[in-house]
Chain A
Amino acid sequence: EAGVTQFPSHSVIEKGQTVTLRCDPISGHDNLYWYRRVMGKEIKFLLHFVKESKQDESGMPNNRFLAERTGGTYSTLKVQPAELEDSGVYFCASSQDRGLSYNEQFFGPGTRLTVL
């Protein structure tokens, strides 16, 4: 079974440009999460999709970030326009809804974003 995949693995852009990150969850996983780790600090939650609906977007830093999950399969996270503080590693995770209080999340390898 393929794991969570993310594309690209690295992205270097200039301040003010736009970048789109993509995440393909494990097949059959309804839950999809985006997280970000900045400068070796803690991994911070950005948002949570259940199928194509946003369940929780409380971690989105501002309106320069737009996440979509059309059709409930893969998801994209767009940053427009990018700022220096957006640099970091963006992780995607997915989980299967098994009706438990907590469902194990499987993480992708991350996209390292560098804004110059």
Chain B
Amino acid sequence: DQQVKQNSPSLSVQEGRISILNCDYTNSMFDYFLWYKKYPAEGPTFLISISSIKDKNEDGRFTVFLNKSAKHLSLHIVPSQPGDSAVYFCAASGGTSYGKLTFGQGTILTVHP
């Protein structure tokens, strides 16, 4: 049973436009959510996170929104840049599994110049 899902395997956007990546989760015990970015042949790198007590967290061009009632979060990148092209993973933590991250399948973002 996959507790974190990213239903869009890929997303293609034009440079300068907004990229919106979506993530759904099923485990109501999750209380911390993260986005990781991954380039080929590298490990995931932390991008931005949000606690369940918030509904929005912003860091520069990146904003994460959390809708707890819908068990949904999204990552907005504005404006998108070609260097943002990578695989983006949504991850969640919480409940009895201290520290353990549960990841989605990833979304390949391609930003065209």
The chain A residues found within 8 Å of chain B, CB to CB, are 4, 31, 33, 35, 40-45, 48, 55-56, 58-59, 91, 93, 95, 101-110
Contacts and interface: CB of A to CB of B under 8 A. Distances in A.
Contacts, number: 71
Contacts of B98: 48, 55-56
Interface in B85-107: 89, 91, 93-94, 97-106
B42 A42 contact: no
Interface string B40-69: 011111100101000000000000000000
* Interface SS, B side: strand
A104 B46 contact: yes
A104 B42 CA distance: 17
Given A42-B104, A102-B32, A91 B99 contact: no
B4 interface: yes
A42 B4 contact: yes
